[in-house]
Structure 1
Amino acid sequence: MLDSYGRLSRVPETGELEKIDTQWADNRKVIDRVGACLGEELSDGLSAWKRSVRRPGWQRLLERVESGESDGIVVWHTDRLFRQPRDLEKLIELGERGFKVYSAHGERDLADPDDRFIMRIEVAHAARSSDDTSRRIKRRFATFREQGRQTGGPRAFGFGGKDQTWKPGKGQTKADRPMVSADLVARERQAISDAARDILTGVSINEIARRWNKAGLRTVAGREWVPVTVRATLTRSTLGGVIEHQGRPVGRLAGDPILDQRTYERLRALFAGRKRGRVVGERYVGTGILRCGLCNTKLSAHRQSEKNAYPDGTTRATYFCNKARRGCGRVYADVRSVDRELRIFVLRRLSDSRHAAAVAAARSQVAERLAEVNEEIARCEALQRALSERLGSRQITLDAFDAANEPLAADLAKFTAERKSLSGGNPDGPTQAQSVETLDAQWEAGGYAEKRAMLLSALGRDRLLINPYEQNGKRVFDNDRVKLVDENGQVKRIDDVGDGERPDIEIQAR
């Protein structure tokens, strides 16, 4: 039983994209030639060189090797499967019983010391080739920045470039993509200039978004403006003709900037001086976690007027799909009723021994990388604390603090996202099932942060959706509106989660 693996990549000799279907077709010929049976066809569209990238096809291959379901793997070339020596060592460790790697160029038996030696050399050569390519690209981009040139990517609002909204017609390819018109670029540049002037006089970002949408301006991807995209556009350093890399100015763009130096500096200072809002979920358990059942947008929450209160006098609150975050605006649900379902879901999922065993197994597979990520996060946080202390004692200026903190903040966001991906959102959560009574006591005693941590631990890589209200004459919350979607896309009711009975609980007034 041989699995087939393909990874989207480019042929070094021609630069053309080697499609996965083409690789699978070649792999099937090899399987027929050696007289084997095809197991699963696995694929990844991601790099095998980047250490932080999670490759689902590769992870599935390891699972099949460990369980004994697969006797080997067929690849178009070994560099499609391995670009890091540690990946090969992991497969060698699991496949010492005789796992074979086939390709159009021959076969390697991981139980044979000579074949292992040759494969280690091949993988080391592939890793060196990737490192050399990365080094050349970084140096080329650094040269571009020093010369005042952009380093590629789609065009930015207010600058010329290829039209990202264009769709190829019959007989056309991406190479036929046209440039945006000079008139459109001029309109965008004028809109940015007007917006900067107005914001400095007190106009809100929401108002700028409304103006741009009313004027028919759209983002470079053809979407309507929302406050967050307006802010991101107006804080770009290129508006002042400055090229930044990792938070530091490294060059200047050729030509006249959209904003003069004084306006540019005042605008950035204004945004830098504004306090950020409270963190997501500080007051509501499900914000940023629950998703709209129609458009999959993460739900927001807000309190209603004091006139619309619960019978106990507590002000009502609502989870809703926020149009300002590109949502459909068609899903609303009572916070108290939804939180009751979230509590039941947490109790049923975390008291299920099968779920606890799956969490423990998943964490053991990524334990090494997770430890590295946690160390990097600790380093970034320690450096940020040191910078804050120096700023507080006036050893450095605010500008120096911002310049040093921006790359740290970017690294911290990157590593935090990777930790969430590796751990399912809660790296320090329990890996043993607990009783419903114990979990319920923890939920009742915990604050919003503790409740969110329990919810994320129970959720893992699954998603919770809130479906729209269906008018049926009833004035009670329908708990079937809350649906669980697992990582395979299967939809379940909350009551179908776990192996116990539905807990009988009440949500206390907050």
Structure 2
Amino acid sequence: MSPTLRSAVDVAAGGKTRAVIYARISQDRTGAGLGVDRQREDCEALAERNGWDVVEVYVDNDISAFSGKKRPAYRQMLAALDEGKATVVIVWHTDRLTRSIVELEEYIELSDRRGIATHTVQAGTIDLATPSGRMTARILGAVARQESEHKGHRVARARQQKAMAGEWAGGVRPFGWGVPTGEVKKRVDRKTGDEGEVPELDMMKAVPEEAEALRLWTDTILSGGSIRSLVKWCADKGVTTSRGNPVTHSDMREMLMRPRNAGIAVYRGEEVGRGKWEAIVDEAKYRAVVAILSDPGRTVNRGAQPKWVGSLLYVCGRGECGAGMTVTQSGGRRFPSYRCPTGHGGGRRAEVVDKYVEDTIVERLSRDDAHELLLPGPDEVDVAGLQAESEVIRRRMTDLAGLFGAGQLELGPFTEGMDTARGQLEGVTQQLARAATRDPLVDLVGAPDVRKAWKALGLDRQRNVLRALVEVTLKTPRPGRMPDGGYFDYEAVVFQWKRGSR
């Protein structure tokens, strides 16, 4: 039985034709198109004119029928139709229903099996019970898909042009930029489809307080700080992402490694030149942060935060063990003690060991020759020259891509040229990183009160000083009272200096 005939049978039997409405909006941030409410109103008016009883309205907000993302309301509607909930589907236009050929075929099969009629406000009735009706639906679906593909290409091309010109290419507001201009623009709420107004932002200008935070975070990493400590700083200060969410470890890492911080424009992950916006962080510092956070040898521990200076940094001196010592209170001990995780025993009271290590480091860095422990400075690095060289290399990569895209360069020479350019750019980046990296000892050497400066560093940076300056080995302590009258065996704590000597 065709959908039209079934509707006639329903009316003849004294009942109203049961209909459902499906409304969808993908992206309409300017407010120029139809919102969900407008679609629903027009569909309800069509149902009223035809005397249909609307039993359900299904709505998917901000979900493209072309993108392939799951549309929960659409799937619910198909399940309801398969259960016989209605015999008519009303949509504002066929492209609101689907732009996927696969989905269309599924919908045609269901409509044919359950006798479903499809009516649109803009395109009239689509009779999927006849070959000509199905052909019309497939043609409309193909046209809608072509429009989506064409729109996607236009959007991508426009973003590429803006990125190449050093302009803002759109997207989520990056942390650090977006000063209100005083103007407003229309926007459709993704959840409700309602139109509203939001402040217009100048994406070329930095937000002062956010820019200050980015510079602080950058300097913290360069001084040996951790992402974990910065995430905690954000939580304590109430600083959130540009979307208003709490800052996570991945959020912080992404914000620190964003090329935009240094005024560098990017398209599809590739640097394409200088941006026209205000740089917040010096490029040398940015390169150094990227080098630090990208170092495969960097120790990343997202578990419990160390509470002791030597956790996993002091090593076991029992034979050839060399395992990192951990702090535990096992074995009925009243005080936290450093112990070898392999079970070699011989716990050393953590508080006493850390105090001895601190005293030794402070004493060494308080000497007149402490400046000799500092690494050579980056004064000989020509930062301006390296930055200019990096821009030339990036421009060469852009030119190669343009020639290849235009068919004027074969794949082999293109690949070889890009590999060479990437290698050169990596070398320049490493030199720039060297120019900005701070020696962990800088804040201690020459300080009027080295112990006070040590205490002010915080645990993360104290551990970085330890890593850079000395390796501490904890041997099995001697039993009983020591020659000084105490019970702590100082000779069981061995210092191997990485810079200078004791």
Normalised TM-score (structure 2): 0.49
Normalised TM-score (structure 1): 0.48
Q: Rg larger in 1 or in 2?
A: 2
Between 1 and 2, higher relative CO (CA 8 Å, sep ≥ 6) is seen in 2
